[in-house]
């Protein structure tokens, strides 16, 4: 019962806050309150919203989408519009219900239709239906819909909470400031400074970036008008609020990741909006229709699609996962750009076993030049940096000669050459420059090539599928190779002699340091990572894995590994429904995001095991800045976050072998692992120390 009430109330509040691309409950409540400054409109708006939510639930539509308010906010707008423009009478309610239903149908259908292209519906259903109603009621007075004020619907409602409103409206506010607040209230079809102030406060609480973008839209629009004199009497507050300011917010901070570029585009779109607003006003005036927020909707959708069609998006990025908060979108994006390299690159391993030394790196002085500059040469060296054992006049004296060469990633064998004789030490074969070579195809446009292999040492056949780490050949000294060494490069085409491309190795070890997604340099002694069995076992959270946790303060939680529709894995806490998404591969485990109760044990674990490398190398990382809580100390950072980040929250850990397994230590937590997996977690918070015992229920 309580759960249902929370669901419905949340849905209603979301329907309000989503008018400003938000899901903030406080902001939703403020908007709800502000809508009641026009009591009739407030009531009809709320009624329409409730009606829609009820219909959606009863008809069995997607609960998640309904909950976000995406289906109901158009009905909300319709309700407010109806209450604002038409007088109450019998037929009012009849047509309100009819129009609401129509809005619902159009919303759902259009959501599905545009959803296929990844595009939003914005307020198109509302505008479309409202136009219908206006045209119909103008032509058929028998319908009984009576407009309240004079014909001009742009003259928006000043409100009937007259006492306070008039007091506020008479405050000696500078003209532009008053206009700013009145414009904000226009989103609710009002022209009320007090409502505007309330909305502005709500918007600030929701997002500092959003606030700055709305201001930017307002400022640019006023500036353009000032310079051109398009509207000699000033821009109407409705156009400002519903079109210029909203499009600045939508483009600059919601659909794009906030950045200097997105702010630039926000400014540009305001200029474009002028054309649309004016053109459409002229066109629609033929039918005596107001343009409402149609220019904003059309322009936003058009621009979005335009941006989506780019092949190389560069630095202006569309929001990949919508968090309904410009701050969260931005912080998550910056964090994942650094942290999710596993998904940007095909994870390549070094093509050999043991410690090898880079003898020539990218743009090397010897042969890595021009189109073939992005290649690496490897040899094996000893304590004295020699590549051979005395006397070094035979191939066999060289440490790397005859050593296995491995597949750097899964792929098909594309090309094999192995008939070329190995050179004697000091001699080179310039005619068959590359020597014996194997080319693997890993993906369309991604090939790897190993060269100077030993004659007749190739262990695979043309067309074979090889897995990462499979033995493909032995290191030799054929081609342009005065002494045994291994040449490795990546290329976009399948030919011997193709030009090289720069591509990093995913994880490897240099001396005792972990390197991830880097390209080694000349002289680096590199080695594939060796993973620790305890770490690997402990973090092997396969779907179905269940862990029970008993804290010494009495808290009990049960976590389970689940996967979502996108094949992303997460730990789910049964008791408090907290969710922590993670990524795991052969070398590393890391959390990507956490949703839910921040006092849960799962949150402690999320913080403690934020990134764990199975090679037991100490790790440093940055937590994603958490903007979901009310944190005024972050406001300044939020405001300038699109341009500069100065707040950092670091994570680091280290690993210690103990008799029965291993300990992972972070600043305030210790995770103990045994051969069976997670054993216990100890967390120190200010002065309290929590011991959590882990019991594995199912693997």
Partner 1 sequence: MKIKYERPVIKKMNAGIMDKFGMPSQYDPVKEIDGVEVKQLIHQYGSPLFVLSEKQIRRNYQSAVRSFSTRYPKVQFAWSYKTNYINAVCKIFHQEGSWAEVVSGFEYLKALNNGVPGHQIIFNGPDKKAEDLRLAITNQSLIHIDHFNELDLIIVICEELNQKAKIAIRVNMDTGIYPIWDRFGFNYENGQAWTAINKVVKASNLELIGLHCHIGTFMLSCSAYEIATQKLCKLAMRCKTELQNTIHYLDLGGGFPSKNNLKGALTGTDSIPTIEEFAETITSTLLSFGFDTNEMPLLILESGRALIDDAGYLIGSVIANKRLSDGRRATIVDFGINLLFTSNWYDHQISAAQEYSQYTEETVLFGPLCMNIDVVRYSINLPLLETGDQLVVHKVGAYNMTQWMQFINMRPAVVLIDTKSSPHLIRKPETLDYLELMEELPTYLNT
Contacts with partner 1, residue ranges (CB under 8 A): 352-356, 380, 382-383, 399-400, 402-404, 467, 469-471, 528, 530, 533, 657-661, 674-675
Among 225, 252, 245, smallest CA distance to 295 is for: 245
How far apart are CB 673 and partner 1 at their closest, in Å? 11
257 vs 316: CA distance, rounded Å: 7
Taking the least distance from each CB to partner 1, the nearer of 158 and 400 is 400
DSSP string, 586-642: SSEEEEEEEES-TTSHHHHHHHHTSEEETT---EEEEPPP--SS--GGGHHHHHHTT
Taking the least distance from each CB to partner 1, the nearer of 464 and 622 is 464
Taking the least distance from each CB to partner 1, the nearer of 79 and 528 is 528
16 vs 436: CA distance, rounded Å: 68
DSSP string, 233-291: T---HHHIIIIIIHHHHIIIIISB--SHHHHHHHHHHHHHHHHHHHHHHHHHGGGT---
350 vs 361: CA distance, rounded Å: 14
User: What are the CB-based long-range contacts (under 8 Å, 24+) for 319-323?
Assistant: 319/254, 319/255, 319/256, 319/257, 322/254
Taking the least distance from each CB to partner 1, the nearer of 121 and 466 is 466
How far apart are CB 667 and partner 1 at their closest, in Å? 23
Taking the least distance from each CB to partner 1, the nearer of 452 and 480 is 452
Beta strands in 297-420 (DSSP E): 356-360, 375-379, 404-406, 411-417
How far apart are CB 613 and partner 1 at their closest, in Å? 17
Taking the least distance from each CB to partner 1, the nearer of 250 and 469 is 469
Tokens, residue 591: 């959390």
Taking the least distance from each CB to partner 1, the nearer of 166 and 382 is 382
189 vs 240: CA distance, rounded Å: 12
Q: What is the DSSP letter of 475?
A: B
Taking the least distance from each CB to partner 1, the nearer of 504 and 528 is 528
Taking the least distance from each CB to partner 1, the nearer of 464 and 470 is 470
User: Would you put residue 38 in left (φ > 0), alpha (ψ -120 to 50) or beta?
Assistant: beta
Taking the least distance from each CB to partner 1, the nearer of 202 and 528 is 528
Among 331, 387, 361, 243, smallest CA distance to 625 is for: 331
How far apart are CB 590 and partner 1 at their closest, in Å? 22
How far apart are CB 484 and partner 1 at their closest, in Å? 12
Around Cβ 364, how many Cβ atoms within 10 Å? 17
Burial 494-513 (b: 16+ CB within 10 A, else e): eeeebebeebbbbbbbbeee
Structural element, H or E, at residue 486: strand 486-491
664 vs 534: CA distance, rounded Å: 11
How far apart are CB 658 and partner 1 at their closest, in Å? 6
How far apart are CB 220 and partner 1 at their closest, in Å? 59
Cis peptide before 350 (omega within 30 of 0): no
* 577 CB-near residues (< 8 Å, 6+ apart): 596, 597
315 vs 530: CA distance, rounded Å: 36
Question: Do the beta carbons of residue 154 and residue 238 sit within 8 Å?
Answer: yes
Among 67, 125, 123, smallest CA distance to 99 is for: 125
Taking the least distance from each CB to partner 1, the nearer of 509 and 624 is 509
Taking the least distance from each CB to partner 1, the nearer of 317 and 679 is 679
Tokens, residue 300: 């936003």
Burial 244-268 (b: 16+ CB within 10 A, else e): bbbbbbbbbbbbbbbbebbbebbbe
How far apart are CB 662 and partner 1 at their closest, in Å? 8
Taking the least distance from each CB to partner 1, the nearer of 25 and 459 is 459
How far apart are CB 571 and partner 1 at their closest, in Å? 24
Question: Do the beta carbons of residue 463 and residue 412 sit within 8 Å?
Answer: yes
How far apart are CB 403 and partner 1 at their closest, in Å? 5
32 vs 52: CA distance, rounded Å: 16
Question: Do the beta carbons of residue 402 and residue 474 sit within 8 Å?
Answer: yes
How far apart are CB 540 and partner 1 at their closest, in Å? 13
Taking the least distance from each CB to partner 1, the nearer of 525 and 690 is 525
How far apart are CB 436 and partner 1 at their closest, in Å? 19
Backbone angles phi, psi at 589, to 5 degrees: -125, 130
Taking the least distance from each CB to partner 1, the nearer of 381 and 628 is 381
Among 200, 193, 226, smallest CA distance to 215 is for: 200
Taking the least distance from each CB to partner 1, the nearer of 383 and 430 is 383
415 vs 494: CA distance, rounded Å: 8
How far apart are CB 528 and partner 1 at their closest, in Å? 7
How far apart are CB 647 and partner 1 at their closest, in Å? 39
Taking the least distance from each CB to partner 1, the nearer of 10 and 410 is 410
Q: Which residue has the tokens 């009820």?
A: 54
473 vs 451: CA distance, rounded Å: 10
How far apart are CB 350 and partner 1 at their closest, in Å? 11
How far apart are CB 458 and partner 1 at their closest, in Å? 15
How far apart are CB 400 and partner 1 at their closest, in Å? 8
Taking the least distance from each CB to partner 1, the nearer of 149 and 530 is 530
How far apart are CB 513 and partner 1 at their closest, in Å? 15
- Sort strands 669-674 and 677-685 into parallel, antiparallel or unpaired: antiparallel
Burial 608-637 (b: 16+ CB within 10 A, else e): bbbbbbbbbbebebbbbbebeeeeeebeeb
């Amino acid at each position: 019962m309580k759960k249902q009430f929370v669901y419905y109330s949340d849905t209603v509040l979301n329907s309000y806050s989503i008018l400003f691309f938000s899901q903030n409950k406080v902001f939703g409540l403020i908007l709800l309150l502000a809508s009641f400054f026009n009591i009739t409109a407030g009531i009809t708006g709320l009624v329409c919203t409730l009606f829609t939510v009820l219909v959606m639930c009863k008809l069995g539509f997607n609960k998640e989408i309904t909950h976000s308010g995406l289906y109901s906010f158009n009905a909300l707008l319709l309700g407010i519009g109806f209450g604002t423009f038409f007088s109450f009478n019998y037929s009012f309610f009849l047509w309100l219900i009819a129009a609401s239903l129509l809005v619902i149908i159009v919303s759902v259908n259009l959501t599905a239709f545009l959803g296929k292209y990844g595009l939003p519906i914005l307020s198109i259903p509302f505008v479309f239906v409202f136009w219908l109603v206006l045209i119909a009621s103008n032509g058929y007075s028998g319908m009984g819909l009576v407009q309240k004020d004079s014909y001009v619907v742009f003259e928006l409602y000043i409100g009937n909470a007259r006492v306070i409103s008039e007091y506020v409206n008479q405050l000696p506010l500078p003209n532009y400031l008053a206009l700013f607040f009145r414009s904000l209230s226009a989103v609710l079809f009002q022209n009320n400074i007090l409502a505007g102030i309330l909305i502005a406060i709500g918007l600030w609480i929701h997002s500092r970036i959003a606030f700055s973008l709305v201001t930017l839209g307002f400022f640019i629009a006023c500036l353009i008008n000032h310079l051109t004199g398009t509207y000699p009497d000033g821009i109407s507050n409705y156009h400002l609020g519903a079109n210029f300011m909203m499009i600045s917010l939508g483009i600059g901070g919601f659909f794009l990741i906030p950045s200097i570029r997105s702010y630039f585009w926000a400014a540009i779109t305001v200029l474009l909006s002028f054309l649309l607003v004016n053109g459409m006003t002229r066109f629609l005036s033929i039918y005596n229709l107001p343009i409402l927020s149609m220019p904003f909707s059309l322009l936003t959708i058009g621009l979005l699609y335009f941006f989506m069609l780019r092949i190389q998006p560069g630095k202006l990025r569309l929001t990949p996962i919508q968090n309904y908060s410009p701050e969260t979108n931005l912080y998550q994006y910056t964090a994942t750009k650094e942290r999710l390299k596993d998904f940007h690159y095909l994870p390549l391993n070094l093509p050999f076993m043991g410690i090898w030394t880079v003898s020539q790196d990218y743009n090397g002085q010897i042969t890595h030049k021009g189109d073939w500059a992005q290649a690496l040469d490897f040899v094996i060296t000893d304590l004295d940096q020699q590549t051979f054992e005395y006397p070094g006049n035979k191939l066999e004296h060289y440490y790397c000669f005859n050593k296995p060469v491995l597949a750097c990633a899964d792929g098909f064998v594309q090309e094999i050459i192995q008939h070329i004789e190995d050179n004697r030490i000091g001699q080179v074969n310039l005619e068959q420059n590359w020597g014996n070579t194997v080319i693997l195809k890993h993906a369309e446009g991604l090939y790897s090539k190993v060269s100077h292999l030993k004659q007749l040492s190739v262990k695979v056949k043309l067309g074979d599928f090889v897995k990462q780490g499979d033995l493909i050949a032995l290191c030799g000294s054929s081609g342009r190779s005065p002494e045994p060494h291994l040449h490795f490069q990546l290329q976009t085409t399948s030919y011997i002699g193709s030009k090289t491309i720069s591509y990093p190795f995913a994880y490897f070890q240099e001396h005792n340091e972990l390197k991830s997604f880097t390209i080694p340099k000349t002289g680096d002694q590199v080695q594939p990572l060796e993973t620790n069995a305890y770490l690997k076992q402990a973090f092997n959270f396969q779907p179905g894995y269940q862990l029970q946790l008993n804290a010494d303060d009495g808290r009990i939680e049960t976590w389970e590994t689940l996967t979502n529709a996108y094949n992303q894995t997460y730990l789910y806490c049964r008791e408090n429904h907290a969710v922590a998404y993670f990524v795991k591969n052969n070398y590393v485990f890391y959390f990507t995001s956490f949703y839910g109760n921040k006092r849960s044990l799962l949150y402690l674990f999320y913080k403690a095991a934020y990134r764990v490398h199975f090679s037991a190398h100490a790790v440093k990382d940055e937590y994603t800045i958490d903007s979901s809580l009310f944190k005024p100390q972050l406001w300044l950072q939020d405001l300038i976050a699109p341009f500069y980040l100065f707040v950092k929250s670091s994570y680091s850990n280290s690993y210690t072998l103990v008799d029965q397994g291993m300990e992972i230590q972070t600043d305030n937590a210790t995770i103990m692992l045994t051969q069976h997996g997670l054993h216990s977690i100890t967390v120190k918070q200010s002065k309290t120390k929590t011991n959590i015992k882990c019991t594995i229920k199912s693997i």
